[in-house]
Structure 1
Amino acid sequence: MDPYTPRTRPIGRKKNLALSTKEYTKVAGTIASARRSRNLEYGTDDERNGRSRHDFLSKGLHEHPSFIVETSFVKAPLNSRVPSHSHTAPKAHGKGKSRGESLDSVSLDIQEALILEDLLFVLMGFEGVYITFHPDHPIEDDDPVCGIKFTVSSALDPSLSDLVERILPLATYYTGITSFIEMRSHLEYGLVNHALCASIRDMLKDYQTLLSQLEHAFNTSPQFTLQKLWFYVHPTLHTLSLIYQLTTELASADNVDNSSDLSSDSDSDDARNGALGLGGAKLKAVLSDLKNPGLDPESNIPVKGGEVLSVIYDRMQNMSGDPAALTLYGSLLGAAGAPYAVMLQEWMNSGKLHDPWEELCVKESKSITKGTLDMDYVDEYWDRRYTLRDGSSAGDAKRKTGMPTPRAGSSRLPGGACIPPVLEGWKHKILLAGKYLNVVRECGIEATVSQDTTVLDAEVSMEDEKFHKSIEGAYSYANRTLLNMLLQDQQLLPRLRSLKRFFFMSQSFFITHLLDQAQSELRKSSKSASVLKLQSLLDLALNTDLHGEDTMFREDVKIKMATNGLYEWLLKIISEKGAIGGEIGEGGVADSAHGAEGRKNKDEKPLMAIDALMLDYQVKFPLSLVISRKTILQYQLLFRFLLHLKHAEQTLSSMWIEQKTSPWRASVPHHPEFEKWRLRVFLLRARMLAFVQQILAFVTFEVLEPNWRNLEIKLAKVTTVDQLLRDHSDFLDTCLKESMLTSARLLSAYARMITTCSTFAVYSAKFTTSAAKGVAAADGPDGDPEMEKRWDFLYKFEKNFNHWFNKHLDCVQYYASSDNGSLLPLVMRLSSIRAG
């Protein structure tokens, strides 16, 4: 008889392991013949009750040329030797351990026959008469995956004992592997473990077939010896040892008590819990939490999903010098990776994530939906709805909170967070391909990758180049589909152009009309101003000034009132967050600043409508991914900044018109001090107006316009959706930075400057009244008694303006020399109006 050893098979290849009709007839005939012979020669079971097989063998074995008539041989077919579903070592029923000492009184041939019978039991995990459980390995073992250890009777002849000791590890391997399969077949371990167990179970069928053939040879051939048994099982020993090493490593990596939580429930308990609606993973998770209330949930992740594939792959690489190990682990990797690859392809080809046991490298935050986009000021929908479990798709701050703790003693992440090494370089494309198609599907369009590029043969593994080509194809298709939808179907570029004209006031005069028509409303406090009235005036201004494609989007522009001042809010964000990119709350208020806003002093002046006025822009999904609440907030910051400059320019210009009236132009030759005072007021107003105009011109023509042109060039060449999002975000970040809204020193000095200019314009009427009094007093006999007060009032404005102007210019010069030089044009502009 040729040896029959377990061997690996390619995935998808089927082999019939059942006995042929001829073999089956021969085995059945032998068993039936043995039963008849036993009943005729030794009586019925009742008649033989109390008689042991050892008595028969020790007394009458020499009278029988074959062992077929022995009772245990015909009462132990293969199906009766399958281990039970418990994790305790099975016992051989009806055998007394105390009879092992009788080996001293039997011949070497009888010892070999007895030990051969025991080995056929032991190799299936049953305790024999002369081969028993090792005393240091109790039956109720805490770690059944380690397998059962056996020891042979000391009375056995040393020549036989040495050969038996070589065979016994096979029983340990088999029992350990069987326990692993039973434990890892629970639902909690996921589809990858199930596929791995199915592949190992398929390999064990070869081992069981070998044992059935050995049993048949033992029952029918008097020449079957222990040496022949060793010859047949020796090739199998290496194969099972490789599987055993893998299963032991997978089991030892778990940080949870698998034996108590995942495998101790009986069938009756499962049936009862299922009938009550309490069955499944949720119940076991609750019970686990009750047993371990202080356990970190991240440390309770069993070895599953990508981690299983990583362990197999690492073993395959480490043992690549062994052809048998390379073939075996390659087969197991392909079989275990099949469900993982199916989930990946479903995600990449349709945007649907079906991962019930969290095995995949991609995870979903189901609480984040497209309905949250209206309140999403941190791009949460795009950045956090679908992410990589290892945290590499997020920033550093998100990595610390979103990435699970590595396994103790290794750098490997647990469960699905461990990405198989063969997919490590493709993980970002896997994530983006599904994200893109998911967005398309959220729009009601069922986009599926072409079958020509994604359908893979069942035998193609994740290591195959075809699989990598399918990832590339799925990514390219998903990216192209979403990009075309945004740029063509949703008219993204016209939207961005109109957004730029609405918020940056370039080539548009509607904001000037709005400020003129809403003067009375904008002088009120922000709480008293009527948003409805302001919206009507805005619609009127838009209808008057808009032309071309802007008219299509004017309905999306709305008036909104902020809850705090622009500069105070920006300074609070910068001081607490270090940048403007902090968490943003409702209404364009950063969470940190919002908390500080709630602690404002009661004596603080109420916010004026002109300081709270801003525009809002509403877009629908999927454009809200590009024009998100975060980017709209940045547009609003720039709009409010420009609006304040425009309003300051308008008020200072109105003051210039007012200063053309008679009190300012009347000749007062007899009052030179008053003439000097009037010239100083003219000069201060002119310097303030020049400052505002220079800042406005710099921001508009040397920051916003050049950066917008660069953005248009980039968008014309854009090839990926992520590049589109990144270019748009970089454009706004650059505009905010070059507009001096991200530096605390620059912003503080500028805020004081613009406040001084606005306050000076507010006192325009008071200056006119004072000038009229000065003209009247110049012709009177008593002179001008209020001239000193008039100078004191003007000195305060001059001192304040000169101080903050010089400080602001110094900051601009410093940042222009230390940064990228974007502020150098502003230095030249402001130097012309430096105070003497």
Structure 2
Amino acid sequence: DEIDCLVQTAAEAVNNRVKDQMLNEWGLVKHLDALKRFLLLGQGDFVEPLINAIGPELSKRASQVYRHNLTGAVDGAVRGSNAAFIYSSDVLERVGVRLLEASPGDSGWEVFTLDYYVSKPLDGVINPMAQLSYRRIFHFLWRIKRVEWQLGEGWRQHMAAAHVRIEKHLPGTRALLHAASLVQGQMVHVVSNLNSYVMFEVLESEWRHVAERIGEARDMDEIVAAHQQYIHNIFAKILLREEESDLAELLQKVLDAIGSFCNCQNALFASAFGEIARRHASAKPPKNSSIQAASTSSSFSFDVNGSRSAASLTEDWDLGVPQRFLDSIKMSASVFEEALKDLIVALEDNMKGAEMLKTMAYRLNFNGYYSRDSTLLSS
């Protein structure tokens, strides 16, 4: 018994010493907080400048994206954020860029990932499996940030169109852009609420819990267990577990539909601004002005079963908005609406056993709007 008591006393002394070194000398909590701020995109004044700086670069094909072009932007965003006044250079210099292996058709968005160098003995807690989990969480959050950035770019295109008074140059665009802006407003609502849910009700909430557990831990085993539980809880709440794969797929369809809608808008604006530039260059009055005048006074119907005259199928802007833009924007808006309704129904069906799913469903559909038989692009 005396020997057992001595062994237990020695073990407690060693555990306390190791724990004290990990928390104080090696700053485990500081590095976990840095991971939350950078890899989990919790530092807002880092994320926004970063995505604005590298967004155009990441829109290129993956084969045209190079790590050295991104590293400077990441370093600038890190040092320009408030985190530069919180952490030493030892922490800031650990944030880097990693480019994943590209698949055919990938853009820079798919291969880009932030990296955080974990040295010994920190890798005793932030082990390779945990680092992989952080990267999976990052890619989920990065998809949300990507569509958020795309929606912001779309809004800037709308402002540019208003600035040049596009409806005067291209009569017929006003009704389409008005309807598209309403759809975009709903997409912004969904993305902002999803982002708010993830950042505040998942990441910040779980961070408070893990910080408390680590502070109360009696040994390294409890610290490791607290960190593993932290990652597990985040996975569960943002649909990254295998059990929620169906919900995750539905959420991805919503984000894909938003991205598709933004791409359709970009194509519309590129064509419209190009047409205006050509007309200014030629300085000739547009043809078929009577047709244009008629299209100015008419409103566009976006009913799924609606039809338009064969003349509108031409790419000639003198006949109104080319039909392919009407069809593509209407289709992407319809896909978004259906995907969002499917997601909300699935969340409501599965939320009995998960309080956080109930919270997500309420945020996305707080007034029951998407439970009604509505069509986003209506006349």
TM-score when normalising by structure 2: 0.79
* Structure 1 pair 640–551 and aligned structure 2 pair: CA distance change class (3 A): farther
Indicate the residue corresponding to 2:88 in structure 1.
Answer: 551
Offset, 1:675 = 4.1
Alignment of 1:782 with 2:283, yes or no, is no
The one of 47, 60, 70 equivalent to 1:534 is 70
Q: Partner residue of 1:751?
A: 252
C-alpha displacement at 1:543, in angstroms?
1.7
1:373-772 residue pairs with structure 2 within 5 A?
465-545=1-81, 546-552=83-89, 553-563=91-101, 605-662=104-161, 666=166, 675-742=174-241, 743-769=244-270
Aligned to 1:808: 343
Question: Once superposed, what is the RMSD of the aligned Cα atoms?
Answer: 2.7
- Specify the code of the residue in structure 1 equivalent to 2:177: R
Task: Identify the residue that residue 304 of structure 2 maps to in structure 1.
Answer: none
Matched residue type, 2:356 = S
> Partner letter of residue 555 of structure 1?
E
**Partner residue in 1 for 2:300:** none
Alignment CA distance shift 1:767-1:645 (3 Å): same
Q: Secondary structure at the match of 1:659?
A: helix
* Distance in 2, Cα, partners of 1:522 & 1:622: 34
Distance in 2 (CA, whole Å) between partners of 1:559 and 1:728 is 24
Q: Give yes or no for the alignment of 1:792 onto 2:293.
A: no
Unaligned 5+ segments in structure 1 are: 1-464, 565-603
SS in 2 for 1:823: helix
- Counting aligned pairs with the same residue, the percent is 18
TM superposition shift of 1:692: 1.3
Give the secondary-structure state (helix, strand or coil) at the position aligned to 1:627: coil
1:503–1:639 Cα contact (<8 Å) kept: yes
CA-CA distance at 1:535 after TM superposition:
1.2
Shift of 1:506: 2.2
The structure, 1 or 2, with the larger RCO (C-alpha pairs under 8 Å, 6+ apart) is: 2
CA gap of 1:539–1:697, structure 2 versus 1, over 3 A, is same
Partner of 1:661, secondary structure, is helix
**Which letter does structure 2 place at the counterpart of 1:814?**
D
SS at match of 1:477: helix
Name the structure 2 match of 1:831: 365
Cα gap change, 1:484 to 1:653, in 2 (>3 Å): same
| Partner Cα distance (2:158, 2:147) in 1 | 16
Amino acid at match of 1:825: T
Q: 1:438-483 deviations in whole A, cap 9, x for unaligned? A: xxxxxxxxxxxxxxxxxxxxxxxxxxx2343234223312322211
- Give secondary structure in 2 for the equivalent of 1:782: helix
**Residues 763, 561 of structure 1: CA spacing in aligned structure 2 closer, same or farther, 3 A cutoff?**
same
SS of structure 2 residue aligned to 1:621:
coil
Indicate how the Cα distance of structure 1 residues 485 and 778 shifts in structure 2: closer, same or farther if over 3 A, else same.
farther
Counterpart secondary structure, 1:645? helix
Q: How far apart are the structure 2 equivalents of 1:793 and 1:729?
A: 45
CA distance in 2, matches of 1:651, 1:715: 39
Change (3 A) 1:810 1:561: same
**Structure 1 residues 150-229: aligned runs within 5 Å:** none
1:706, distance to aligned residue in structure 2 (A): 0.7
Question: Given that residues 501 and 507 in structure 1 are in contact (C-alpha distance below 8 angstroms), is that contact kept between their aligned partners in structure 2?
Answer: yes
State the match for 2:316 in structure 1: none
Q: CA deviation at 1:523?
A: 2.0
How far residue 554 of structure 1 moved from its aligned partner, in angstroms, is 0.9
Say whether the 8 Å CA contact 1:649–1:689 is kept in structure 2.
yes
Return the alpha-carbon distance in structure 1 between the equivalents of residues 92 and 205 of structure 2.
25
Residue by residue over 1:214-269, the C-alpha shift from the partner in whole angstroms, topping out at 9 and shown as x without a partner, is: xxxxxxxxxxxxxxxxxxxxxxxxxxxxxxxxxxxxxxxxxxxxxxxxxxxxxxxx
Residues 328-371 of structure 1: CA deviation (Å, up to 9, x unaligned): xxxxxxxxxxxxxxxxxxxxxxxxxxxxxxxxxxxxxxxxxxxx
Query: SS where residue 97 of structure 2 aligns?
Result: strand
Deviation at 1:828, TM superposition (A): 1.7
SS in 1 for 2:291: coil
The one-letter code matched in structure 2 to 1:639 is: F
Partner AA of 2:357 in structure 1: L
Q: Which amino acid aligns with 1:541?
A: A
C-alpha contact (below 8 Å) 1:738/1:823 kept by paired residues:
yes
**Offset from partner CA, 1:726-745 (integer Å, 9 cap, x none):** 00110011111101222111
Query: Structure 1 residues 675 and 524 mapped into 2: Cα distance closer, same or farther (>3 Å)?
Result: closer
Contact 1:498 1:549 in 2 (8 A): no
Question: 1:660/1:521 Cα in 2 relative to 1: closer, same or farther (>3 Å)?
Answer: closer
Distance change >3 Å, CA 694–CA 777, structure 1 → 2: farther
**Which structure has the bigger radius of gyration?**
1
Q: State the one-letter code of the partner of 1:712.
A: A
Could you tell me how far apart the structure 1 residues matched to 2:105 and 2:326 are? Answer: 30
Unaligned runs of 5+ in 2: 280-284, 296-310, 313-320, 375-379
How far the C-alpha of 1:769 sits from its partner, in A, is: 4.6
Give distance in 1, aligned partners of 2:191 and 2:251.
10
Distance 2:255 2:347 in 1: 15
Could you say which residue in structure 1 is the equivalent of 2:298?
A: none
What one-letter code is carried by the residue in structure 2 that aligns with 1:700? Answer: M
Task: Give per-residue Cα distances to partners, 1:132-151, cap 9 Å, x unaligned.
Answer: xxxxxxxxxxxxxxxxxxxx
Q: Whole-Å Cα distance in 1 between the matches of residues 127 and 76 of structure 2? A: 27
Q: Report the number of matched residues.
A: 330
- Alpha-carbon distance, 1:771 to partner: 5.5
Distance 1:779 1:516 in 2: 42
What amino acid is aligned across from residue 633 of structure 1 in structure 2?
L
